[in-house]
Amino acid sequence: MPDYVTMLRPETPTPGISRDPSASMPQDLVEQVRGRVQLLALFLIIGIAIDPLFYFVGWIISALSGRPSPEIHQRFGFQMVNLGMVAVSLAMRWAARSPRVSINRLIWLGLAWEIVICFLCALTTYWEEFVLTGALPSLTWVAAIVILFPMILPAPPRRMLAASIVAAAMSPLSLLLLDQFGMVQAAPNNYVQAAVSPAIAVVFAYLGARNVHGMGRALVAARELGSYRLEEKLGEGGMGEVWRARHRMLARPAAIKLIRSPVNGAVRAGVSEEMIRRFEREAQTTASLRSPHTVNVFDFGVSQDGSFYYVMELLDGLDANTLIRRFGPVPAERAVFLLLQMCHSLSEAESVGLVHRDIKPANIFVCRYGEDLDFVKVLDFGLVKALSMKTNGQAGLTRQDMVQGTPAFIAPEQILGKADIDGRADIYGTGCVAYWLLTGQLVFDAPSPTALLVDHVHTPPAPPSSRTDLPIPEALDRIVLECLEKDPARRPQSARELSRRLAEAVAPEAWTEVRAKSWWSTHELA
């Protein structure tokens, strides 16, 4: 089966044997490192730059007044060190903001940054305190910095331990260098004080790194569904979530749809056998479809917390809802091109006795599929109804006392709760999608979902051509209105019939592969 990158985003590297210090952490949490590093760098820049700012302002005032202060000259060297820390933090903030710097490299740079900051901080603290007071301080900020960094950078505990030891050693090392160059006078107890608090901080840093890394690994384990590992949330709706995932052995990207259990807070034992059978039946019927325009289902199951999940192919593109909202209505020839592919998927579903029952723009995905552009995939057969269930003596897939579907795109017979719903309900939904593609508007503009349902049952729709400035052939206008007939008997009776009639609808100019490629390239999607 072909692999696909995530929706308009670059594909992440294949996990495996890696030197990436964050390889065992959840990817979305690791990505937050950039924000945390930027924030810490900003705090350090502001906190450290205040002292040099006041120093140079005082220097200017002193020079202008003609009364130079001896302290101004004494503190010049300290301020150069402070400016060095500001420069290093500015560079680190730039690295965190740059997409060219990978998370792996950013973490390594962060560990080096910790060491440099600890050295410069200890250097200026000992030097300035001794020059101004003649005594050495017992504490510096080194210990606090060593404890803080494991919370910022999700490096493995051993690597963080090594970096923390080196950073802590900067305190006695800076004191030794200052002593050797005659800038301070240090006694043995000063070296002990310089080493003890940073050494204790190393212990806390190691424990903190273990806790952070352990929680990350536990979260990774919690996000594993069968052979798949959840990597990044792609979307969220009323019934559940869609995640980017990857097969642990095959390294194949996939999309997993998690469907929350109807029982709030339910665990695996709280999911009824009837619910599991219904979910399995829906997943099996979807997986049995072979049209290239129906999304592939690789796997399905029930997680330990009672959530159902589908594992589907991960597509590169955008749904028809987003397409129109971002770029406006499409030309008639492109709408026909997309609708014909939808009909291919629905026709196969009809041939095996399945009704989708939730055809809407959000379930029509327009994607790059191999070398093909504007390739349509019909998603989410989650409300699918098998027409043969009653004849086989099996329970239906949905409760008869509930309206199933989306108010803006639902067929009148679904609203009225009729028992004999068939593929013509999907024809109505396809008409609503066609209306959206051609006009960028819903069939009915109503103030509430209830009013929408009433309009679908009773109100005749306006022709699409009356609600857009784009040219719509008369034949296509008529086909869309026939799809939106209240009486199913007056609509096209099958997806195959609708496909034939759409192909005969004369458009001003054919939608070609060249035009599709040009559109995708113009909008930087290809």
Is residue 375 situated within a structural domain?
A: yes
Lowest-confidence pick of 59-63, 210-214, 263-267, 292-296:
263-267
Same domain, 131 and 211: yes
- Output the pLDDT for position 215: 65
Domain termination site, one of 186, 204, 222: 222
CATH code, 284: 3.30.200.20
Same domain, 413 and 446: yes
Cβ neighbours of residue 337 under 8 Å, at least 6 residues apart? 374, 511
CB 8 within 8 A of CB 316: yes
Same domain, 259 and 383: no
Number of folded domains that form the chain? 3
Whole-number Å distance between alpha carbons of 169 and 171? 5
Same domain, 334 and 383: yes
How remote is the C-alpha of 459 from its chain's centroid? 40
Domain termination site, one of 222, 256, 280: 222
Same domain, 253 and 372: no
- Output the pLDDT for position 395: 34
When pLDDT is averaged across residues 228-239 and rounded to a whole number, the result is 70
For the chain, report the end-to-end CA distance as a whole number of angstroms: 21
Q: What are phi and psi of 232, to 5 degrees?
A: -155, 135
Q: Looking at beta carbons, which pairs linking 270-278 to residues 24 or more positions away fall under 8 Å? A: 270/306, 271/302, 271/306, 274/395, 276/302, 278/395, 278/397
The most distant pair of C-alpha atoms in the chain lies apart, rounded to whole Å, by: 103
When pLDDT is averaged across residues 232-241 and rounded to a whole number, the result is 69
Same domain, 259 and 381: no
Domain termination site, one of 253, 280, 312: 312
CB 414 within 8 A of CB 423: no
**pLDDT bracket for residue 406 (50, 70, 90):** confident
List, edge to edge, every strand of the sheet that includes 297-302: 224-225, 228-236, 240-247, 253-259, 308-312, 297-302
Whole-number Å distance between alpha carbons of 443 and 456? 9
Is residue 416 situated within a structural domain?
A: yes
Is residue 8 situated within a structural domain?
A: no
Same domain, 505 and 373: yes
Same domain, 291 and 331: no
Is residue 369 situated within a structural domain?
A: yes
Residue 92 has pLDDT above 60, yes or no: yes
CATH code, 417: 1.10.510.10
**pLDDT bracket for residue 270 (50, 70, 90):** very low
**pLDDT bracket for residue 403 (50, 70, 90):** very low
**pLDDT bracket for residue 377 (50, 70, 90):** very high
Query: What letter does residue 250 receive in the DSSP assignment?
Result: T
- Output the pLDDT for position 80: 83
- Output the pLDDT for position 216: 63
- Output the pLDDT for position 393: 38
**pLDDT bracket for residue 334 (50, 70, 90):** very high
- Output the pLDDT for position 11: 37
Share of the chain above pLDDT 90, in %: 29
Q: At what angle do helices 157-180 and 103-133 cross, to 10 degrees?
A: 30
Is residue 304 situated within a structural domain?
A: yes
When pLDDT is averaged across residues 173-185 and rounded to a whole number, the result is 90
Query: Mean pLDDT, the chain, as a whole number?
Result: 79
Cβ neighbours of residue 62 under 8 Å, at least 6 residues apart? 68, 69, 72
- Output the pLDDT for position 5: 32
Same domain, 196 and 282: no
Beta-carbon count within 10 A of 39 CB = 13
When pLDDT is averaged across residues 447-455 and rounded to a whole number, the result is 88
Q: At what angle do helices 188-222 and 157-180 cross, to 10 degrees?
A: 160
Same domain, 284 and 382: no
Tell me the catalytic residues.
358
Cβ neighbours of residue 499 under 8 Å, at least 6 residues apart? 340, 343, 344, 347
Same domain, 67 and 212: yes
Same domain, 295 and 428: no
Domain boundaries, position 297? 227-312
Q: What is the pLDDT of residues 284-309, one digit of tens each?
A: 777 788 888 988 888 777 766 666 77
- C-alpha pair distances (Å), 257 with each of 28, 225, 260: 17, 11, 10
When pLDDT is averaged across residues 432-438 and rounded to a whole number, the result is 94
Residue 339 has pLDDT above 90, yes or no: yes
Is residue 17 situated within a structural domain?
A: no
Is residue 446 situated within a structural domain?
A: yes
Q: Mark 232-248 as b/e (b = at least 16 C-beta within 10 Å).
A: eebeeeeebbbbbbbbe
Q: What are phi and psi of 388, to 5 degrees?
A: -85, 0
Instruction: Please write down the HEC assignment for all residues of 194-207.
Output: HHHHHHHHHHHHHH
Q: What is the pLDDT of residues 3-53, one digit of tens each?
A: 333 333 333 333 333 444 444 555 556 667 788 888 888 988 888 888 778
When pLDDT is averaged across residues 159-184 and rounded to a whole number, the result is 91
Whole-number Å distance between alpha carbons of 116 and 217? 29
- Output the pLDDT for position 218: 54
Is residue 15 situated within a structural domain?
A: no
